[in-house]
Each structure stands twice: as C-alpha cells, then as structure tokens.
Amino acid sequence: MDALLHQIFSGIASGGIYAGLALALVMIYQSTGHINFAQGEMAMFSTYIAWELIDYGTPYWGAFFLTIVFAFAAGVAIERLVIRPFHNLPVIALIIVFIGLLVVVNSTASWIFGTTLKTFPSPFPSEPLWNNHYISNHELGSIGVVLIIVAILFVFFRYTTLGLAMRAVAENPISSRLVGIRVSWMLALGWGLAAAIGAVSGMLVAPILYLDSSMMGGVLIYSLAGAILGGLDNPWGAAVGGFIIGIMENVLGAYVIGTQLKFSVALIVIVVVLLLRPAGLFGRTVVTRV
Amino acid sequence: MAEQVKTSTTSTVAGQPLSSVPLVKSATAQIQAVPLPRRLAGGRAWGIGAIVVIGALLPFALQNFYIFQLTLAMVYAIALIGLNMLVGYNGQVSLGHGALYAIGAYIAAILMNSYDWPYWLSVLPAGVVCLVFGYFFGLPALRLSGHYLALASLALAVTTPQVLKHKALEQWTGGFSGIVLSKPEVPFGLPINQDQWIYFFVYAIMLVLFLGAYNLLRGRIGRAMIAIRDQPIAAEAMGINSAIIKTSTFGVSAFYTGVAGALSAIVVQFVSPDSYDFFLSITLLVGIAVGGFATISGAIYGALFILLVPNFAGELSKSAPWAIYGVLLILVMYFLPTGFAGFVRMIGQRLSAMFTR
C-alpha cells in the first residue's frame, strides 16, 4: 500500500510537469487551432537561457522572470517570422513546419550549449514538508505553480477583453476582424503566452530530469496525451489530463507494463481518446457544418 | 500546366471521364501535385530509359563504398515513395513511418537470424506484415485528420523502439544490442562482388516497386486518393469509398516502407532499436518534402538528399545536419512547395517552351 501511495504521489508530481506543458499546448490550440510539436523544444531552449542567467550570477527569481520575458518575445517572433507565412497553407505544410522548428531548436540547443547534462537549481527548500517521504517540496511547489497558471489563464480567458478577443479569433477569425480585433497580433500573442508557459514548465522539469537537449522529448509526448485526454480547448481539462497521465504512467509502469514500455501508455491513451471521445473528457464537441 | 490538363482530358479510364478528376486547385490546397501528363511524352520515356540503363551500369564504374551508398539511397527511395503515397497523394500525415521501417527490418532480420530464411525470401513477408499492420493502424486513422493523425503516429514512432528493446521479445530481437546478419553471397557464380550483387538485388526490387507505384498512382485509385485529399466531401459524393481507399493507402504505403526496412537490414547487415528512433520518421518526412509531395521522381531526389546532406553537414558539427535539415525543411515548404521534382519540372517546361516557340 505504501509503495502504491509512493507511485501515486510521484505520479502526481510528474503529472504537474505534464500539466504545465499541456497548458502551453492548449494555449496555442485555443488561439490558433494548431498543435505545436515544437512546444517542448522551445521550453527546453528557454530553460537553457535560465541556466545561463543563473550561471552568470543572476538570482533564481530574477532569472525565472527574465526567462519568461525572453520566451514570450521568442514565441511572438517565431509566430511572426516562421509561422505567419504559412497561415493560408494546408495543415500538412504547417505540421511539417512545426517538425522543422522542433529539429532546428533541438539541434541549435545542443550546438550552443553542448550535450552534457546540467544540474538546474530548484527554488524550493530541500527539506520535505512535515518530514513526509512521499513528495518533495520541489514537486509540491511545481504543482502549486501549475495550479496558479491554470487559475490565471482561466481568469484571463473568462474575464478580460483581451482573453475574449483571443477566443473570438480562434472561433471565427473573419468575424473577429470585422468587429475590429487585430487578428494577426492575437495569434502572435497566443504563441508568446504559450512559449512563456512552456518556459515555466521547462524550468520546473529541469531540477528533476537534469537539463539536456532531449529533456522535453518524453515530456511532450505525455503532455500531448494529457492535453488530448483533458480536452484541447479547456485549460482546466488539460491540467487534469496531465495529472491523470502522470499517475497512470507511474502506476501502470510500476505494476502492469513495466518501466520499459512507459511510452506505450501515452500511445494507447492518445489513440483510445481520439477514437472514443475526440473532444477529450472536458472538451467541447465541435459540430462542423459542411 | 494548361497543356497537361488538355492532354489528360482526352483519354478515359474505366469509362470515367478524366475531366472529373479535381485537377483544379482549391484555394487552400496549395501544396499538391503538379499533375503529370497521362502518357509519357516520347522524350520523357527515352530519358527514363536512359536513367534505368545508367543505373544498371553504375556499379561497374564506382568504388564499393559509393555502391553501398547508392544502394542505401535506393532503399530510402522505396520508403519515400511509400510515405509519399500516404502524405502527398492521400493527405494523411504520418510521423510514424520510421516505426514501419523498423518493423520491416526486424521481421526480415528475425526470419534470417532465428529461422534461417534466405535473405531474398525474407523481404516479401516483411512487407506483408507491414501491410497488415499499416491497414489496421489506418482504421483508427480514419477518424483522425491533420494534427491528430500526426500525433497518433508520432506516439507510434516513439513507442516502437521501446517495444523492440523489451525483455519479452529479446530472444528474437536481441534486445538493446540488436541482430547482426551475414552479408549475402553472390549467386550463380556471377563475376561481380557482393556489394555489386546487393546493388542489383535492391535495384531490381526498386524498379518493380516504382513501376507498381506509377501504375497505382496514375490510375483510377491514384485519382481517388488525390480526390480524397483535396475535396473529401465531393469525393464521397462522387461514389469514392473514402474509408477503403484511405485504409488501403495506409496499408500499401506501409508495405513499401516495410520492404524498404527489410532491404535496409540486408544492406547494412545490422538492426538495432536505436537506429529506428523518432528522427528516422522525421528524416523520411524531410525526404518527401524536399523531393516533392505527390511526385514519383521526388523519391529519388529526396533519397539522395537525406543520404548526402548529413555527410556534408556532419563535417561542420555533430548537430549541424539536423539544424540544416530543419532550416531546409521550412525553407522548402515556403519557397518550393512542390519540392525539387516540381522545380525540375518547371525548368523543363520553361526550356521546352523556349525551344518550341
């Protein structure tokens, strides 16, 4: 029983990480209707920036917020420079551009920063709370940060004019333009926010997995599975989906299929959800008129 | 382009007027086939014949290392034509063809290693297993489109190496260390060396498969595949059974990729789980994007590209090939949406226009 509890708690902890990146994916999906396959790599690159800043002697929280600003700017720039020219092309072209982006960011990172593993500091104290042996402070802190992001996103999309404008653009770009929303900037903003959220999740992952150019590869797969499970158009759903995937990965990995086949959990979840309930657990079913 | 449309409307296949083929591009579908003329023009047929003859003579003029490289390029070309059927002609994006290539390679390697099958007999079973697997993966793919299919196949690509490493399969797959195979002997006492023989073996299979792909894609089924890609609803309304065509395309595409995988096992004489990671799937996608979506000749250009570029770029830096791949991928999508094949065709048309005037 104790072992099972352990697995569940570490599942919740890794679920927090998946939830973070899943939120970034949902962010782009909500504002543009695309799934950004390069999201994990962009997060990894931002984490390297944070590592460099800390290495130069910047205090942790200073580096944290500077990195978020950097990631936001980079996200906006990528949207304007790389993605914008393709916005009229079919989905295939965009997917290939995303893959190209993934490859470029990944290899640039290992080119610039090398391939050795780097340790990344955690901002949370290392003594576990109440001397429990189930969950570390870093894991608790990560979960807290993710929940805060979800709350901010919820408030942003639900109660602010800007959030409403972004949702409108995702829903119907032409009508949004007619009522005076600057559609192209809303899309860029969506990319910027997603990159910023991704950077946060990268900085939360790095103390656990060690910083490395392939750090986010596995995380991206699980996050995608989480986002699909929870519903790609619902931040709460994606966060919950991320946690469920984390728990499933750990419990099934320990007791059912063995740690060697962990990725197959993600594959099975993705295929089953897309087949049985493509909108996810908490997503909206979209009806298309033809 | 207007000339091509004219030539194609004159002939009919299976009683179906070809003018019903949706050659007119919709505003959104900008990357797509430059439609080929129905019958090969005389000059083109001569050109292809000359290339086939040169291909058969090349192994006598080159060193063994270059023969080996060209053989690998042909193996890639077979995989690319398979992937292009699915992505280019049918519009289903697969990021998982590296997995099918791996399955083909492992089936062939296991047949040769554990069951002592001769190498030439192990290619077809590998293809058939992939055909069945691809067909069944194509079933859920029917309900997925665009991003979602890419996602599901991405997960397949990531999962496969883990399955290949798994303990339960280790007695066949050799686990982490893979399987080492022996080099095929030259049969019938032919006066050529082993590398030349493997070249001819792969060359013959490639010619057969290309001919098959040409007939499939230029015929009624190929047009149905393109119709589903461009106008799925109109295609259904015209009586095309979209489900059967899509799953079968997945199956045939998997067959080609599986055969290529099996041939790669024979050519390299080694299979291991880590040679078939997610990046192999990306490499194949790069190949068809650079070669040209929905073109047959593009497979050759694409194969040479994915074989040669890492060689050149590897001299710059270890991670440079991928950076160059990525940048080229984006640039090609932007500047040359029809790939290198489309570029060559455009040059050819300009030249012929210049001379006929």
- Measure B66 CA to nearest chain A CA, in Å: 28
Helix ranges restricted to H, A57-136:
60-78, 91-113
The pLDDT assigned to A91 comes to 75
Spatial distance between the Cα atoms of A15 and A150, rounded to a whole number of angstroms = 14
Query: For B170-179, B205-214, B288-297, which range has the lowest pLDDT when averaged over its residues?
Result: B170-179
**Which residue has better confidence, B253 or B13?**
B253
d(CA A255, CA A101): 37
**Quick check: B95 and A102 in contact, CB under 8 A?**
no
CB contact under 8 A, A91 and B166: no
Domains defined for chain A, CATH in brackets: 2-122+135-276 (1.10.3470)
| In chain B, % of residues over pLDDT 70 | 84
Region B55-69: mean pLDDT is 79
Q: Which residue of B has its CA nearest to A83?
A: B330
CB contact under 8 A, A99 and B95: yes
Mean pLDDT for B327-338 is 82
Phi, psi of B12 (to 5 degrees): -125, 150
Give the pLDDT score at A270. Answer: 82
Strand boundaries in B234-352, DSSP class E:
270-271
d(CA A3, CA A166): 45
**pLDDT at position B77:** 92
DSSP B183: P
The pLDDT value given to residue B315: 65
pLDDT band of B218, cuts 50, 70, 90? confident
Q: Among B194-198, B210-214, B255-259, B261-265, name the one with the lowest average pLDDT.
A: B194-198
- Phi and psi (nearest 5°) for A211? -85, 130
Tell me the nearest-neighbour CA distance from A276 into chain B, angstroms: 10
pLDDT band of residue B90 (cuts 50, 70, 90) is confident
Judge whether A30 and A44 are in contact, CB under 8 Å.
Answer: no
Residue B252 has pLDDT above 70, yes or no: yes
pLDDT for the residue numbered B313: 66
Cβ–Cβ under 8 Å, residues A19 and A219: no
Pick the residue of A88, A104, A220 with the most B CBs within 10 A to test the interface with B by mutation: A104
Tokens 């390679």 -> residue: B105
Residue B31 has pLDDT above 80, yes or no: no
Strand intervals (E) in chain A: none
Most confident of A213-222, B113-122, B225-234, B328-337: B225-234
pLDDT at B18 over 60: no
Q: Residue B287: list chain A partners with CB under 8 A.
A: none
Listed in sequence order, the residues at least 6 apart from B349 whose beta carbon sits closer than 8 Å to its beta carbon are none
Residue of B nearest to A86 (CA): B334
Q: Which of A286-290, B10-14, B99-103, B328-332 has the lowest mean pLDDT?
A: B10-14
Q: Which pLDDT value is given to residue B27?
A: 39
pLDDT of B2? 41
pLDDT tens-digit profile, chain A (290 residues): 677 888 888 888 888 888 888 888 888 887 777 888 888 889 999 999 998 888 888 888 888 899 999 999 999 998 888 888 877 777 777 888 888 888 888 888 888 887 777 778 877 777 666 666 667 778 888 888 888 888 888 888 889 988 888 888 877 888 888 988 888 888 888 889 889 988 998 888 888 877 887 788 788 888 888 888 888 777 888 888 989 998 888 888 777 776 667 777 888 888 888 778 777 777 777 666 65
Rounded to whole angstroms, what are the CA distances from B285 to A101, B65, B84, B92?
Answer: 14, 26, 9, 12
Q: Which of B166, B322, B335 to mutate to test the interface with A (most CBs of A within 10 A)?
A: B322
Q: Which amino acid is at B132?
A: V
- Inform me whether the pLDDT recorded for B11 exceeds 70: no
Across the interface, of B28, B143, B326, the residue whose CB is closest to A107 is: B326
Q: Which of A241, A285, A283 is nearest to A266 (CA)?
A: A241
Q: What ipTM is given for this predicted complex? A: 0.76
Arithmetic mean of pLDDT, B84-97: 87
Of all residues in chain B, the one with the smallest CA distance to A232 is B148
CA angle (A277 as vertex; A148, B133 as ends), nearest 5: 115
pLDDT score for B12: 38
Q: What is the reported pLDDT for A104? A: 87
Chain B neighbors of A34, CB-CB under 8 A: 147
B13, β-bridge pairs: B16
B191 pLDDT higher than 80: no
Shortest CB distance from B144 goes to which of A115, A262, A274? A274
Query: Quick check: B39 pLDDT over 60?
Result: no
What distance separates the 2 farthest-apart alpha carbons in chain B?
A: 68
Between chains, do A278 and B29 touch, taking CB under 8 Å as contact? no
Q: What's the CA gap between B328 and A201, in Å, rounded?
A: 29
Tokens 């580096």 found at? A63
pLDDT of residue A268: 81
All residues of chain B having their beta carbon less than 8 Å from the beta carbon of residue A228 are: 151
pLDDT, position B57:
76
Averaged over B103-132, what is the pLDDT? 87
B156 to chain A, closest Cα gap in Å:
6
CB contact under 8 A, B152 and A107: no
Query: Between A and B, how many residue pairs show a Cβ–Cβ distance under 8 A?
Result: 144
d(CA B348, CA B4): 13
